[in-house]
Structure formats: structure tokens, C-alpha cells
Chains A and B, each alone.
Chain A
Amino acid sequence: MAFIRPRLNDYYNLSFTQSEVDFTIPFLDEDIPLFVDPFLLWKSPSLQDNSLHTSLINCFNNIVSLANQNKEEIASRILRDCSECEEAGLGFSETKKGLKIGKHIIENIIKLFKDIPQIRKNGLIHLEEIQLYIEGMGPDRISDFTCSFLKSFLIDYTIEQSKKYDIPLIKIKSIDVYDYKKHDIVREHDLDLPINPETKKPVLLIPKRWLRKNTWINSDDYFSKFYPEIILKREDKKKINRVDILDYNRKNYDVVQSYIKFKEKIKVDCKNDPLFEPIPIFSTKRILNSILKLSVGREGNADRKYEDYLFKLMASLFYPDLDFAAAQSRTDSGVLIRDLIFYNNRSMDFLKDIFELYKTRQIVFEIKNVKELESEHINQLNRYMANQFGNFGIIITRNRIPKKIFKNTIDLWGGQRKCIIIVNDEDLQIMVSVFESKQRKPIEVVKKKYIEFTRKCPS
């Protein structure tokens, strides 16, 4: 059984949580579903970020200049090579393997640089606006171009953060870096960088403050909110397709610029997106009430609803002490079982305890929407407790458990030193109550259950 959604720190057994570090912790077998938004660098109060944005724009405008000096071949090569930055690991790829942009898009970009007089003369102010002219350019490409052009900085940043958090650095043979002085890509050798232990390829750490789910300036936003108001009557909107709009934009540079100015004006609303955003307090209370009203069993899909509610609730309640890994389904003896998996980052003494005593690197919460918990339910979780889960697991169920079941769990500890904690609706109510009042942390309610359990165990 493999580690579920492994991250770089899990592989190296490093205990920091996502909220403690300045960068987004990379996944080992999938990309981080966020993008670097250059607008965040432009609007940042940090002079360093502003300077990096200027460098980024200079790099890109150098390509504009090359295109207009009839050096299309060099411009095309740089565009192609900088269009993918695998080391950053951002986007929606499940294979961590990206593709560079095709010849057709490169030709369109070069053509754009030549065709629009204002761009030909002054270049671009925001790299993201290229999405408003070229089909096939989206936030993923903008993010990759940004990471490629700023790779030199990102390498230094990665080394600094790796040293700070003890992430092992491995000497890598070579890595392609954009050289700001030569305005070309150069191959750097023998750099110390963290590597993805599965692909053996170097990994770059990306500051959280640069990341968004979509770029602030983007074509969807332009099409849905800005373009129709200015150009189209509402009834015409459906008739116009995206390519027509891009074509319109290329011929109406000023309209695009007024959109850019508008987005600059409301820059205060542009914030970075976290990888995980806990739901607000009123939502936790609403979900809890829905759970409490829910019937036990499967009638009316109650089991499925219970699982969905818990998935939303628990990930938020335990944040930032436990990072949520995944909700998963599995079958045990023909029974479908849903689990919630959290990374054990050892962010508090209780979590350190279960890491050391039970070798728990990921915590499994098994969900049971049943009236009364039975021995078979304990056995199902017991069979699953191995590898990264160690000898510790939690069952979330509806009601207090019968004494014989509690004795079962004590006997399991006595015989196999396996610890199964059972959390019910009453505990959920306390968790939501402390989440709301902020008097204690919801994870402390789990700790309480654990301590109550250990006190009943034979010494």
C-alpha cells in the first residue's frame, strides 16, 4: 500500500506543515493545482517581487525585440524552451510531465509581436495579457513562462528554503536556466537542488505568495465580465466564440488596455490562493446541523451524504494542525469503505506521540454512518492499519459505542498494540463548538479521546 498523495517532506520524513512554510510543498506524483500569477509580483509591496516582475517583462519583451529584428528563429527557440517548467510542478498534470508549446502557437505569438504596433514599439506591460490575444495560451503557460524566466531566482530560493527546513540537496548534473545578461538559455552544471525521489528530477520550491488558481488577468474574466459590457449587447453574447474575441482584441488594443487598467485599479482584491482554504465557521455549523439531522444507514443516500459532509468538515476543523491528503474509497471483503486521510506532520505533542508509538505517518479516519458500531467495523480498520498508517486509526460514527466494542478496542491494544479511537456526533459537536469559539483546537478533542482510551488500557 503506497503513501497517499505523497509530498516531498513525507518522503524525507520532515515534520513541517503547509501553513508553517513559505513555499507550497510539492507533491511527488502530481502537480500542485495552482499557477504563478505575475500580477501578484507586480502588485506585491516587496521591492524584490517588483524587480522580479520587471526582469520577467524585460525577458519577454526581449523576445518581442528579437522578433522584430528578424531573429524569429532565436525568439521561437526561447519561447519554446521557456514554455514549460517541469521543476516547478504547477498545474493540473497527474503525471508531472508537461509539454512545450507547439509551432503554431509560437508563430502566432511572433506574429502578434509584429502585428500590433503598440506591442512592437513598447512591448508588454503584463505577460498575462498575451492570453487575450492568442488561442492556446492560458494560466498554465503564463505560469511556466514566469518560472522559466525567473528560474535563477527560484533556484536560490529553493536552496535557501531547503537548508532552512533540512530538505536534502542533491548535486544535479545540469539544469537549463534563462540568463538575464545574455538573454538566452544557458546550461548550469553541478547545482545542489532537492530532487523528486520518484522521478529523480530537480524540484523548485515556489513561494506561496505568488500562487493563484487562475491569473488575475485572464481570458475567462475578460470574456464574462468586461468584454460583453463594452462591446456586445447581452443577446449577442452566445453567438460570439472565443476565437472571434481574440481576433477582436488584436484589432482593438485600446479595449484590452482599458481592461488591464481596470484590473490594475482593483489590484487590492487580487490575493494569492492557498492550496487549501478552510470553510468559514458558519459553514461548519451548517454542515454539523446537516449531519445531526441525517438518518443512519444507507436510506436516501445518507451514507454518501454523511461522507461528503465529513470530508468538508474535518479538513477544515483540523487545519492547520493536520494537512488534508485525500478522501478515498476502498473495498474490504466486498464492502465499500470511505476514508479521510491526513498527513501526520507532528505539529503537536499528541501527533508526535502517535508518530513515535504507532509509526503513524498518515492518519486514517474511517467513516461509518451506522446506528451501532460492530466488531466487524473495528476489524475492517484493523486490517487496513499498516505501512504509513502504522498502528493507529480513527473511526467516525454517529452514536456512542457499546461497552463490548470499546472493550474490543482495548483488547486490540492489549494484544497487538493497535490503537483505534472512536469519534461520534457528540465529539463532532464539541469540535465545531471549539472551532467557533477558538477556545481550544478541534484536534485536541481527538487527543482527549486518545487519552481517555490510553487510561483504560492495561498498564
Chain B
Amino acid sequence: MNKEEVESFEKNEAQLRKIYEEMTILSKKKPDDAINEFKLEIINKIIEECNGILKNNKPFKDFKKFDKDLVPSNSDVVVILSQYISCFGKVRSENSVENMVNEFYWLIDNKKSSIRTSRPKQIGYNK
């Protein structure tokens, strides 16, 4: 990953996690209720950006975004967003390195950078 890709990753992951939190609350209340078009449009924009970042690490090859005509439910959206979050974790773990004091830094162009990142949740990060 290069510096721009790292910045884009951090921004999109933050958005993804926030919308996931919001949708989880909605889904707990009414899992089968349809999501409205405005929210779906926002979610689709985030997903499209995420697809650009994840490239081959996308959760599903044939899923590009939600079809608003198929009236997806809150729980449908939560399932998909959780898959994207997992994939983001995988990419982070593959592109970050831990120092001696358990701090994590991005690998930029395969070299340890000075940009800190959070601890990857996936197992298999670089030491």
C-alpha cells in the first residue's frame, strides 16, 4: 500500500465501522424492516469505495453493492457490512507491523512507516 491508499483505508474503515454500529442498533430493533433509500445510497457509496480499497480482498466476488429495488432489510445490511469489516481487518494485518512496545505501524511500499495504526484484530500480523 502507498500513503494515499493508507489514508483512504483509514477514512473508509472509520465510516464503515460507524455505519455498521448504527445499522446494528436498527437491526436489533427491527431486523426485517426495509432500509430506506437515503441510507442505502450512503451505504452503497461507502461499499463502492471499500471495493476500490479491498480489490481482490472483497468479501464476495459478485457482490458490488445493494440493489435498492430488492428492498434489502436492516439485517441484510449488517451481515454484509460485518463481512467488509473482517476483510478490512485482514488487509490491515497484512500491511502493518508491531514494534517492541506493542505499537502498530503501517507498512508503506513494504517498509515500516511512521504512520501508526490500530492493533489488527486478525491473527497473523507482522512482528
Contacts and interface: CB of A to CB of B under 8 A. Distances in A.
Interface of A: 429-430, 433-434, 437, 439-440, 444-445, 447-448, 451-452
B123 interface: no
Contacts of A437: 30, 33-34
Contacts of B70: 448, 451-452
Interface in B23-74: 30, 32-37, 67, 69-71, 73
A447 B37 CA distance: 14
Contacts, number: 38
Contacts of A429: 32
A452 B73 CA distance: 16
Contacts of B34: 430, 433-434, 437, 439-440, 444-445
A430 B71 contact: yes
The 4 closest A-B pairs by CB, nearest first: A439-B36, A440-B34, A448-B71, A434-B34
B105 to A, nearest CB: 42
Contact of B37 (A430, A440, A448, A452): A440
Contacts of A430: 32, 34, 71, 73
A444 B32 contact: no
A266 B65 CA distance: 55
DSSP majority for the B interface? loop
B96 to A, nearest CB: 38
A433 B33 contact: yes
A390 B85 CA distance: 47
A124 to B, nearest CB: 53
B122 to A, nearest CB: 34
Nearest to B74: A439
Give chain B's interface residue range (CB within 8 Å of chain A).
10 to 19
B53 to A, nearest CB: 29
A439 B32 contact: no
Interface of B: 30, 32-37, 67, 69-71, 73
A440 B69 contact: no
A445 B30 CA distance: 17
Most chain A CB inside 10 Å of its own CB: which residue of B32, B34, B35, B70: B34
Contact of B33 (A434, A448, A451): A434
Contacts of A448: 69-71
A440 B32 CA distance: 12
Contacts of B30: 433, 437
Contacts of A440: 34-37, 71
Nearest to A429: B32
B32 A433 contact: yes
A97 B67 CA distance: 52
Given A429-B32, A430-B71, A444-B34, 12 more contacts: A430-B73, A434-B33, A439-B33, A439-B34, A439-B35, A440-B34, A440-B71, A444-B69, A444-B71, A445-B71, A447-B69, A452-B70
Contacts of B71: 430, 434, 440, 444-445, 447-448
Contacts of A444: 34, 69, 71
A50 to B, nearest CB: 41
A446 B34 CA distance: 13
A434 B37 CA distance: 12
B21 to A, nearest CB: 19
A239 B53 CA distance: 86
Contacts of A434: 33-34, 71
A387 to B, nearest CB: 29
A444 B67 CA distance: 12
Nearest to A350: B69
17 contacts: A430-B34, A434-B33, A434-B34, A437-B33, A439-B34, A439-B35, A440-B34, A440-B35, A440-B37, A444-B34, A444-B71, A447-B69, A447-B71, A448-B69, A448-B70, A451-B69, A452-B70
Nearest to B39: A439
A440 B34 CA distance: 7
Contacts of A447: 69, 71
